Amino acid sequence: MCGIVGILGKDDVAAPIVEALRRLEYRGYDSAGVATIDKGEIARRRAAGKLNVLREKLAREPLAGRAGLGHTRWATHGAPIDENAHPHATDRVSIVHNGIIENFRELRDKLAAKGRNFQSATDSEVIAQLITAYIDEEGASPIDAFRRMLSRIRGAFAIAAIFAGEDDLILAARQGSPLAIGRGDGEMFIGSDAFALAPFTNRVTYLDEGDHAVVTRQGFEVFDSGGAPAQRREIVSSVSDAMVDKDGHRHFMAKEIHEQPEVVGHTLARFVDPTAAALRDFGAGFDFRKLDRLIVSACGTAYYAGLIAKYWFETWARLPVEIDIASELRYRDIPYPKKGGAVFVSQSGETADTLAALREAKAHGQRIGAVVNVAESSIAREADDIFQINAGPEIGVASTKAFTCQLVALASLAIKAGAERGVLSKDDQTALVAALLETPRLIAEALQQEKAIEKIAADLSKARDILYIGRGVSFPIALEGALKLKEISYIHAEGYAAGELKHGPIALIDEHVPVVVVAPSDRHYEKTISNMHEIIARGGRPLLISDKRGIKEAGDVWAAIEAPETHPLLSPLVYAVPVQLLAYFAATAKGTDVDQPRNLAKSVTVE
C-alpha cells in the first residue's frame, strides 16, 4: 500500500512530485522515489527511509524533466532498501505501483528464463519488465505493451508508467487501488487521491475498477475493463490544498487528540439539531423497521467503534448486530438476509479489506451505509448511504479524532433506528440526543487530565506488557487502549473483557504487569472493580480510569485517572481520551516516532 503520483508539467516536475508525495506519506513511508524523462531517457532518484531522505538526495543530485512519476512505499514484497524503492525502471519504461501483483513469481520466472535481469525483490518490477519485453521482443508501442501487461497481471493495483522517448505520455491503470486524474491548464496530474492533487488542481476524475487511461498534457482518454472508451465524470474536488500543520503541538497525534471537542461538535452538528435536541433528517436509506439484523464491519480502531455501536443498536433499537473484522467478513460464507443492511466504518474510506467486505455485502443485495471521514474515498463512492464525519484530515497513523467522530455518527444512527423501530419514545430520544450534545464539553474536561496522565504514562512506559480490561461499552475501549499503546509505543498490550481475565489472562499478572482498568460508574462498575481486586490480590498494579465517585469507591489502586461522569452508554466518547493520552505519552517517554510508527501506514490499501 503506497502512494503514487505522476505529472506532465510545463517545467521540471521533481519538486512538485515531492510536494505531492509529502501529502501521500500517510500511505507508507518505507522509501520514496522520483523518475523523470530527461532528454528522452529515464532518470531516477530513490531512497530508503522517509521522504526527507529523498529530498536531501535530490538536493545533492537534482533531477530534470517535465514528465515524471513519484512513489512513497509501504513495503510488501522486498525489504525497505534503495533497490526495492519505486519507481522501477528499465531503459524503456519506468513504473510506480500501489498494491500487490499476485502472480508475480510465475511472471518473473518466465521473464528471467528469457534473460530479463531483475534488479529488485519486489512484485512490482515485473510490470516494468513485462512492458519492456513486449516493446523489445515484439515491437509493441508503449500503449500496446502497457495493455498487454495489464492482461497478464493479477491482483490489486494502481499503476502509472512513463516511457523513454515519450515526454508527453503517462499511462495509468486501476484495479482495486484508487487512482485519480487531475486536469490542469496545459498540464496533467495523476495521484492516489485528490489530496495529492490539491496543490495543482481541483478538477479531478476518478478511474473506475478495471479502467486504464492514456494521459497527455492536452487531456486524457479512459478505457474500461473491456478496452472500450469510457466517460468518467470530472468533479470539482473539495479537498483543500492547505497542508495541515501541527498547530504548535509536538505531533499530529497530540493535535488530533486535542481537536476532539471541536470535531466531535462539528460531526454532531451534521447529525443532530442542537436547538431542538433532536436528530436531523440525515436520510439513512435503511428501513430499520424491516431489518432483522444489521451487519457492521471495519478494521482496527474503526472496528472498535463498530463494536461499541453494537451495544447501542441492541439496547436502543433492539436490533441485533452482527459485527466482524472486515478481513474476516469478506471471506465468510454469510447467509445474507434478503434486503438486509450493512454499515462499514472507515476513516480513510480506502481500507482494502473494508472495501472488499462492502463489495461482498453489496453483491449479496445488502443496502450499504458507510461511516467515512474522506468524502471522496472509494468506500464513500460505493456506498448507498454516506454518514460522513467531520474529523478533518487525520495525519497521525494512530486514529484518534476519527474514532470519537465515528462514535457520534454511529450513536446517531442507532438512535434513529430506535426511533423508527418504536423502541425509543420521543423523551428517550431527546434525552439521548441531549447526552450526546454534552460530549464535546466532557471530552474537553477529560483533556484537562493531560498533565496527570503524562506522569503516569512515564511509569507505564517502563513496562514490557500491559493489560487493559473493561466490561460492556468499556470493553472496546480496553481493546482500543491496548491497540493505541502497542502501535505507537511498541509496548506489548492486550485488551480483555474484564470477566474473561479469570479464564486465562490472569495467569500473566504479577507486579511487573500494569493493568489499565476502564470502569466508569455504570451498571458494570462493581463487577469490574471485583476483577480489579482479583488483580490486586495477585500482586498486580491496577491503573483505574473512572469518574470521581468510581475512584473513591474503588479503594487503594496503583494509580487512577479521573474522567468526567457521563451517560452510561456514551462513556466511550469520553474514555477514549485518557487511553489515547496514555498511549501518546508512553510513546513520547520512549522516544518513538509517534506520527509514523514503524511498519505501519495510515491507509491500508492491501489485503
Using CB under 6 A, list all residues that contact ligand M6R: 299-302, 346-348, 351, 354, 397-399, 483, 487, 603-604
Among residues 31 and 580, whose Cβ is nearest to ligand M6R?
A: 580
296: left (phi over 0), alpha (psi -120 to 50) or beta: beta
Q: Which is nearer to ligand M6R, 6 or 300 (CB)?
A: 300
Q: Give dist(CA 175, CA 343) in Å, integer.
A: 23
Residue 250 CA to residue 425 CA, distance in Å, equals 46
Short-list 302, 361, 261, 256, CA closest to 580 = 256
Nearest approach, Cβ of 487 to ligand M6R (angstroms)? Answer: 6
Residue 514's φ and ψ, nearest 5 degrees, are -65, 145
Classified as helix, coil or strand, 41 is strand
Q: Is the dihedral of CA 515, 520, 525, 527 positive or negative?
A: negative
Q: Is the CB of 306 or the CB of 418 nearer to ligand M6R?
A: 306
Report which of 43, 49, 40, 47 is spatially closest to residue 69, judged by C-alpha positions.
43
Interacting residues of 414 by C-beta distance below 8 A, sequence separation 6+: 309, 312, 313, 316, 317
Listed in sequence order, the DSSP H helices in 225-294 are 252-258, 260-271
189 vs 156: CA distance, rounded Å: 22
Q: Which residue is nearest to ligand M6R (CB)?
A: 300
Length of the chain in residues, anyone?
607
CB of 599 to ligand M6R, least distance (A): 11
Find the helix packing angle between 401-420 and 439-447, rounded to 10°.
Answer: 150
Closest to 343 (Cα-Cα) out of 406, 289, 281, 400:
406
Nearest to ligand M6R of 36, 267 (CB atom): 267
Nearest of 98, 172, 99, 93 to residue 129 by alpha carbon: 93
For residues 266 and 272, give the distance between their C-alpha atoms in angstroms, rounded to a whole number. Answer: 10
Q: How far is the CB of 243 from ligand M6R (least distance, A)?
A: 19
The least distance separating ligand M6R from the CB of residue 326, rounded to whole angstroms, comes to: 8
Give me the least distance between CB of 183 and ligand M6R, in Å please.
27
In this complex, which beta carbon is closest to ligand M6R, that of residue 571 or of residue 596? Answer: 596
Task: State yes or no: cis peptide before 542, omega within 30 of 0.
Answer: no
Beta carbon nearer to ligand M6R, 398 or 433: 398
CB neighbour class for 426 (10 Å; exposed up to 12, middle 13-18, buried from 19):
exposed
Query: Closest approach of Cβ 75 to ligand M6R, in Å?
Result: 17
Calpha distance 37→484 (Å, rounded): 43
**Cβ 236 to ligand M6R, closest distance in Å?**
24
Which amino acid would we find at residue 437? L
Nearer to ligand M6R, 134 or 304 (CB): 304
Task: Please give the distance of CA 518 from its chain centroid, rounded to a whole number.
Answer: 26
Smallest distance from the beta carbon of 202 to ligand M6R, in angstroms? 23
> C-alpha cell of 550?
468510581
CB of residue 597 vs ligand M6R: minimum separation in angstroms? Answer: 8
**At CA 172, angle to CA 167 and CA 174, rounded to 5?**
170
Judge whether 223 and 566 are in contact, CB under 8 Å. Answer: no
Quick check: 62 and 41 in contact, CB under 8 A?
no
Nearer CB in complex with ligand M6R: 84/98: 98
- State how far the Cα of 551 lies from the Cα of 40, in Å rounded to an integer: 71
Which CB, 94 or 348, lies closer to ligand M6R? 348
Q: Which residues are identified as catalytic?
A: 2, 602
Query: Which residues make beta-bridge pairs with 343?
Result: 296, 369
Report, in Å, the least distance between residue 298 CB and ligand M6R. 6
Nearer to ligand M6R, 38 or 487 (CB): 487
Specify the residue for cell string 486514529.
399
Please identify which residue in the block is written with the cell numbers 472498535: 304
